[in-house]
Amino acid sequence: MTNAPTPAADLTPDPDVLRRLRWRCRRGLLENDIFIDRFFEQHEGSLTTPLVQGLLQLMDLSDNDLLDLLLARKEPEGELRDPDVLQVLSMMRVRQD
């Protein structure tokens, strides 16, 4: 469970949108699926529409490019330097404690 605040109603995606988003996020690499599944387990209840858009931008990447970003082997460039994409990416990355 997360302690993140509940987003305002006008920023909360419709449950059908979230259901389709989870389906859209299914990937070909198991490693990516692990990151994505953990992300949804921890943050699905607090996702906002802008974060959904950021996640969709990441899902447009190839599996290998996405994994490089998730493992912090690369940093986002160009259009991926969007604040919502960066926030989603930071939420998805493995924490180094």
CA of 96: how far to CAs of 16, 20, 76, 79, 93, in Å? Answer: 34, 31, 19, 26, 9
Share of residues in the chain with pLDDT > 70 (%): 86
Per-residue pLDDT band at 28 (split at 50, 70, 90): confident
| Residue 26: predicted pLDDT | 86
| Residue 10: predicted pLDDT | 55
Q: Where are the domains of the chain?
A: 14-92
User: Which residue has tokens 């493992």?
Assistant: 71
Is the Cβ–Cβ distance between 22 and 56 less than 8 Å?
no
pLDDT digits (tens, 9 = 90+) for 48-72: 999 999 999 999 999 999 999 999 9
Q: State how far the Cα of 38 lies from the Cα of 25, in Å rounded to an integer.
A: 12
Residue 93 has pLDDT above 70, yes or no: yes
pLDDT digits (tens, 9 = 90+) for 2-12: 445 454 555 77
User: Which residue has tokens 């330097």?
Assistant: 81
Is the Cβ–Cβ distance between 32 and 63 less than 8 Å?
yes
| Residue 18: predicted pLDDT | 83
Tell me the CATH architecture of domain 14-92. Answer: Orthogonal Bundle (1.10)
Q: How buried is residue 89: exposed, middle or buried, by Cβ count under 10 Å (0-12/13-18/19+)?
A: buried
For the chain, give the mean pLDDT. 86
| Residue 1: predicted pLDDT | 47
